[in-house]
Amino acid sequence: MAKREEIVSMIDTLAEFKDLKNIDKETMISVLEDSFRNVIAKMFGTDENYDVIINPEKGDFEIWRNRVAVADQELEDPNLQITLTEARKIVPDSEIGEEITDEVHFAKFGRRAILNLRQTLSSKILELQKDSLLAKYKEKTGQIIAAEVYQVWKKEILLLDDEGNELLLPKTEQIPTDFYRKGETVRAIVQKVDNINNNPKITLSRTDNVFLQRLFELEVPEIHDGLITIKAIARIPGERAKVAVESYDDRIDPVGACVGMKGSRIHGIVRELRNENIDVINYTTNDALFIQRALSPAKVSSIRVYKEVTEKEEERKKAEVYLRPEEVSLAIGKGGLNIKLACMLTDYIIDVFRDIDTADEEDIYLDEFADEIDSWVIDALKNIGCYTAKNVLAMSREEIIERADLEEQTVDDVLGILSAEFEDDETND
C-alpha cells in the first residue's frame, strides 16, 4: 500500500468523500478509481495499462502499471514499454515481449497531479451530492417535511433541512397570513424537484391541496389506515376549504371522525393553516346531492344538473340551484367563497336562483307528509333536489321516476297525495 505520508495532501478530500451519506461502498470505490484514472489519462494519454485498487475505508490505494519489455535501444513509449535492463531489476528473469507490472507511487507524479486529483474528486463528490439530493427529495415529493428558516426574501424563503440542504418556499406557495423569522420551523410539502443547469431546486408548498390532505392523514387515524378516503378537496388558502370524505365502513361516520370530539382533530389542522375554515362533507356519486352538500350550510330547494356544449364543442357540467330567498346569501357566502369552493369541489358551474315557489307561504316541506309518505321515498326525492311539495309537482311524472329511481305506482301515489293537499286548500278558499 502507498505510504500514508504520500497522501497527506489528499486525505481531507478522501475523508470528505468517505463521510458522504446515502453513498454505497461500490459507488465510492468506482468514483475514486475513475478520479485516479482521469488524472493518469491526462498525464500519460491513456490509463488502459494501469490497475487501480482502492481501500476507501482506510484512505489507502494502490496503482500498478503494466508495460511490455523491449530491447534497450527500441524503447519508444516509456509509459507502455520498459527496457529489458529495467525490467530485470523488477523481475530478474524477464524476457523481451513479457508484460512487467510494477507499483507506481502517485505522490511521485508531483504536486500538479495531486491537485488535479483533488479537483477531479471534489467535482465528482459535488455531482454525487447533487444526485443524492435529487433522488432523496424525488422520493419525498408530496410528503410533509419540516425545515428551518435561514433567510427571508421578498419573493421566497430559503430553508435548510436537518442535513443543511437548501429548500425554497415561494411567496405564491405560502398562506397569505404566513409570517416567519429566521430560525423558525416551517412545515410544508415537497411540491417540485427540478434539476436546473445541474443544480437541484426543491420547491415546497403550503397552499397545495396535497398539504391539507397530508395534514388530515396525520390527524385522522382512519384516513391513515385507509378506512376513510378523501375524495375531493377545494381550497382558498388561508380563507376556507371544503373536503369531501367517504367511509368504507358503514359503522364509521367519516365527517365525525375527521372533525373529532368537540373538533379536537380538525383544530390542529386549522391552526397549522392559519385559522383556515374547513368544511368536511360526505361524498356521494349522486351529483345533485353532492352539489347540495357542497353548498352547505345553505339548504337547497331544488336543483337541475345538465351538460352544456360550448362554441368550441367543449362539454361543461352545469347546475341550476334554486333556494329560498333567505338561503341565497348562505349559498354564495362572504365574498362568494362558498359557491366558488362548491364549484371547485364538484367540478360544476353552479348558478344560484331565488325559488319564488318555495318563498310562497302555501308551499309545504315534504317532511310534513311523513305520516302519508314513507321516509325512504321522501329521502329519494330530496336526493334529486326536491324538498317541498311544489318542487315535486313542478317536475313531470317521467322525470321523477327516472331521476329518483322510484316505481311508477309509488310516484303516482306521491303525486296524488301532494296534489290533493293543494286541491283541498283551493276548495277551502
Name the 3-class secondary structure at 182: coil
Which secondary-structure segment (H or E) carries 429? none
For 87-123, how does the pLDDT look when each residue is reduced to its tens digit (9 = 90+)? 899 889 889 999 999 888 877 777 787 788 788 777 8
Cα dihedral value 101, 102, 104, 108, nearest 10: -140
- Which grid cell is 69? 519489455
Judge if 13 and 122 occupy the same domain. Answer: yes
Residues 316, 350 contacting (CB under 8 angstroms):
no
Peptide bond into 297 cis (omega under 30): yes
Kindly tell me if the per-residue pLDDT of 227 is higher than 70: yes
| Residue 44 is assigned to a structural domain of this protein | yes
| Residue 214 is assigned to a structural domain of this protein | no
Residue ending a domain, choose from 182, 205, 228: 205
- Which grid cell is 252? 364509521
Judge if 15 and 109 occupy the same domain. Answer: yes
| Residue 301 is assigned to a structural domain of this protein | no
Name the 3-class secondary structure at 310: coil
- Per-residue pLDDT averaged across 218-247, rounded? 95
Kindly tell me if the per-residue pLDDT of 392 is higher than 60: yes
Residues 235, 241 contacting (CB under 8 angstroms):
yes
Contacting residues for 33 by C-beta, under 8 A, at least 6 apart = 52, 54
| Residue 255 is assigned to a structural domain of this protein | no
Between 170 and 262, the higher pLDDT residue:
170
Judge if 201 and 87 occupy the same domain. Answer: no
Judge if 112 and 160 occupy the same domain. Answer: no
Domains identified in the chain, total number: 3
- Per-residue pLDDT averaged across 19-31, rounded? 68
Residue ending a domain, choose from 106, 129, 152: 129
Judge if 86 and 177 occupy the same domain. Answer: no
Residue ending a domain, choose from 180, 205, 230: 205
Kindly tell me if the per-residue pLDDT of 307 is higher than 60: yes
CATH of residue 110's domain is 3.30.1480
Judge if 167 and 148 occupy the same domain. Answer: yes
Give the integer Cα–Cα distance in Å for 375 and 150: 61
| Residue 291 is assigned to a structural domain of this protein | no
Give the integer Cα–Cα distance in Å for 352 and 323: 7
Judge if 12 and 118 occupy the same domain. Answer: yes
Judge if 44 and 152 occupy the same domain. Answer: no
| Residue 167 is assigned to a structural domain of this protein | yes
| Residue 412 is assigned to a structural domain of this protein | yes
Judge if 32 and 53 occupy the same domain. Answer: yes
For 26-61, how does the pLDDT look when each residue is reduced to its tens digit (9 = 90+)? 777 788 888 888 888 888 888 899 998 887 666 678
- Per-residue pLDDT averaged across 199-218, rounded? 96
Give the integer Cα–Cα distance in Å for 68 and 87: 9
For 265-302, how does the pLDDT look when each residue is reduced to its tens digit (9 = 90+)? 999 999 999 999 999 999 999 999 999 999 999 989 88
The closest alpha carbon to 134, from 172, 169, 173, 167, belongs to 167
Name the 3-class secondary structure at 299: coil
Task: Round the average pLDDT of the chain to a whole number and report it.
Answer: 86
| Residue 215 is assigned to a structural domain of this protein | no
CB under 8 A, 24+ apart: contacts of 163-172:
163/21, 165/133, 165/202, 166/202, 167/202, 167/203, 167/204, 168/201, 168/202, 168/203, 168/204, 169/203, 169/204, 169/205, 169/206, 170/203, 172/207
Judge if 424 and 392 occupy the same domain. Answer: yes
Judge if 115 and 196 occupy the same domain. Answer: no
Instruction: Give the up-direction half-sphere exposure of residue 311: CA atoms within 13 A in the CB hemisphere.
Output: 0
CATH of residue 199's domain is 2.40.50.140
Give the domain range for residue 167: 140-205
- Per-residue pLDDT averaged across 165-174, rounded? 96
Give the integer Cα–Cα distance in Å for 355 and 394: 12
Contacting residues for 336 by C-beta, under 8 A, at least 6 apart = none
CATH of residue 424's domain is 1.10.150
Give the integer Cα–Cα distance in Å for 248 and 297: 25
Judge if 100 and 52 occupy the same domain. Answer: yes
Give the integer Cα–Cα distance in Å for 51 and 61: 11
Kindly tell me if the per-residue pLDDT of 197 is higher than 80: yes
